[in-house]
Amino acid sequence: MSAPLDYFKPLSDSSTRQRTQTRERILEAAEAVFADNGYHEALVDEIGKKTSMSKGGLYFHFPSKEDLFFAVMDRLANKLVKRAEKAADRANSPLESAEAALDAVLSALSAQRRLARLLITQGYSMGNAFECKRSEIFDRFANVISQNLDEAKSDGQISDINTDLAARVWLGAVNETVVHWLFSDGPTPKETASDLRRLLLASVQVSNPSIKSKDAV
């Protein structure tokens, strides 16, 4: 009946949309489950329950638990990096960009304890695979920071330091602050944000942390 030629367009726009929507639904649920339990303790069946979808259905969309986890991580990291970059763009000097990125990340993590946990901790249980993913993600953050520091350096805003290392130091500091908050009931990252900013700016030799209204426009 139908001409032999009409199945080279197998997926209509709407079905593609449907598809990514379902994927999104799964990712959302998976994020919650992984955040609550960590990779190993998280059960695929529970993700199914939260999605009102069977295990088979899940496996139709994602080839393995591991892939699903990585997809969740990527999605999260993308959101955060974009947020940081946007904040950086709004600032009007490289150094302030770096500060803004820092603040953006700190407040985002503070607001979502579970996400912080997921992003920073929960993956290590998977062994090497995750560790590579983690450094990939951290590298993206490090780049946002070090690029701005580089500019600040050539602008003479900061002293002549190893900006890659400085970026790493900043990241490490944030990481540790968050972890301490997560597991030892330390203060919220947001609470320590201003002290932290002071320390980190000092590390790149800005001795006088302007009350930041300095070049506000």
Partner DNA sequence: GACAACCGACCGACCAGTCGGTTTGTGCGT
Partner DNA sequence: ACGCACAAACCGACTGGTCGGTCGGTTGTC
- Tell me which of a copy of itself, DNA, none is bound by residue 196, counting a contact when its beta carbon lies within the kind-specific cut-off of 5 to 8 angstroms: a copy of itself
For residue 82, the surrounding DSSP H or E stretch is helix 65-90
- Does position 72 interact with a copy of itself (CB under 8 A)? The reply is no
Candidate list 131, 154, 210, 215; residue touching a copy of itself; CB under 8 A: 131
- Does position 15 interact with DNA (CB under 7 A)? The reply is yes
Distance separating alpha carbons of residues 129 and 30, to the nearest angstrom: 18
- Does position 129 interact with a copy of itself (CB under 8 A)? The reply is no
CA distances to 97, 164, 200, 209, 216 from 168, rounded to whole Å, are 16, 6, 11, 20, 27
Contact 177, 117 (CB under 8 A): no
Give the count of residues interacting with DNA (CB under 7 A): 29
- Does position 193 interact with a copy of itself (CB under 8 A)? The reply is no
Question: Is the alpha carbon torsion for 206, 210, 214, 215 positive or negative?
Answer: positive
In b/e form, how buried is each residue of 93-130, taking b as 16+ CB within 10 angstroms? ebbbbbbbbbbbbbbbbbeeeebbbbbbbbbeebeeeb
Q: Which residues in the 173-192 window bind a copy of itself by CB under 8 A?
A: 173-177, 179-180, 182-184, 186, 192
Contact 45, 68 (CB under 8 A): no
Candidate list 125, 154, 155, 210; residue touching a copy of itself; CB under 8 A: 125
- Interface residues with a copy of itself (CB under 8 A) are 37-41, 121-127, 131-132, 134-135, 138-139, 161-162, 165-166, 168-169, 171-177, 179-180, 182-184, 186, 192, 195-196, 198-200, 202-205, 207
- Interface residues with DNA (CB under 7 A) are 4-5, 7, 9-12, 14-15, 18-19, 22, 41-45, 52-57, 59-61, 64-66
